Amino acid sequence: MNEYVTHGQLVEIIELFDHLSMMNAIITIIVYDLFRSGLGKLCDYLKEKKNNE
């Protein structure tokens, strides 16, 4: 096995990490947005329930 990484392999690894970090950023944004909208709906529901009592 070769201990040294060629330039081509290094570029592939960097592109892979770049792609993964982009996917992580997108997933984080989606999860955060879903969490925020869910929290807003929960607050609205609790306010409505409190006003109806």
Which residue from 13, 33, 10 is spatially nearest to 21, judged by alpha carbons?
A: 13
Residue identified by tokens 């925020």 is 36
Can you give the pTM of this predicted structure?
Answer: 0.58
What is the pLDDT confidence band of residue 31, given thresholds at 50, 70 and 90?
Answer: very high
**Centroid of chain to Cα 19:** 13
Portion of the chain with pLDDT greater than 70, in percent = 92
Nearest-angstrom CA–CA distance, 53 and 41: 19
Write the DSSP string, 8-47.
HHHHHHHHHHHHHHHHHHHHHHHHHHHHHHHHHHHHHHHH
